[in-house]
Structure 1
Amino acid sequence: MQDYNETFIANDKYAQSLGITIVQSSEEFARCEMIIAGSHTNGLGSIHGAVIFALADIAFAAACNTVKTSIGMQADIKYLNKPTGSKLIAEARVVSQSRRVGHYQVSVKDDNGVYVAQMSSIAYRLDPK
């Protein structure tokens, strides 16, 4: 799925601007990573919640589009801990699906293994064109 990974990120300018890469994908699964940079911090010096959400959302999008073109319908994120590492890793996987709807869980950890966030998302499957 290397071609899928490269094409998906090549078409996602926002992911590129944050330095997000897809390091692994398979049917209904994606693992994305990003190096934490100074531009990702909030006013308190911690990584901004919007950056964590973006990483989780991009992993979700990469996972749900591995099989069929899909759009996000809902996303709910819970921030669990402050990252202590230098990299964030998001893994998205399907937990339930029907012909039109897929339910996904996304976990975000840092490279020290600290759980940073957990996201639950729903994707709607589009008809092929």
Structure 2
Amino acid sequence: MAPNEIVHKMFDNDAFSQWLGIAVEHVAKGECTLSMTIRKDMLNGFGIAHGAITYAIADSALAFASNSHGRQALSIDTSINHIESLKEGDLISAVAKENALKNKFGFYTVEIKKGNITVALFKGTVFRSDRQWTINS
């Protein structure tokens, strides 16, 4: 399957990414760009976006980028640095890039941005299974 087909198949079954309001902007082998708008129901008690929101879009970008090669991949280690706060109405993007691809592991960074401003940096490692993506998987 082509990277775009894999990501759209994954997204169609991903109720959480859909709930977030994520839009898939770009997909290629080892890459993915997503976007979404911060909503009121995503804010914490300080009136800013809960940290889990930027983590969630980054995690989705990691999943889509790492599965784009056609082998099913699962995250095994992730971390995030929150740099700037976000408010209701802010449009953000998550750009996942592959740093290294090995037989069993993949290493990725995801930059979460509001316009040209980096608001968070995410790092993820995935385990690459032997299972291939197919129309029926």
| TM-score interval, normalised by the smaller of the two chains | over 0.9
Offset at residue 2 of structure 1 (A): 4.3
Report the 3-state secondary structure (helix = DSSP H, G, I; strand = E; otherwise coil) of the residue aligned with 1:42.
coil
Deviations 1:57-88 (A, max 9, x none): 00000000001110000001000112366211
Conserved? CA contact 1:77–1:119, under 8 Å:
yes
- Paired position in structure 2 for 1:124: 127
- Paired position in structure 2 for 1:106: 110
Report the 3-state secondary structure (helix = DSSP H, G, I; strand = E; otherwise coil) of the residue aligned with 2:80.
strand
What value does the CA root-mean-square deviation take over the aligned residues? 1.5
Conserved? CA contact 1:34–1:89, under 8 Å:
yes
Sequence identity percentage: 26
Question: Separation in 1 of the partners of 2:63 and 2:29?
Answer: 12
Deviations 1:32-62 (A, max 9, x none): 1111111111110001100110000000000
Offset at residue 7 of structure 1 (A): 2.0
Poorly superposed stretches of 4+, deviation over 3 Å: 1-5
Unaligned ranges ≥5, structure 2:
133-137
Question: Separation in 1 of the partners of 2:74 and 2:101?
Answer: 14
Offset at residue 3 of structure 1 (A): 3.4
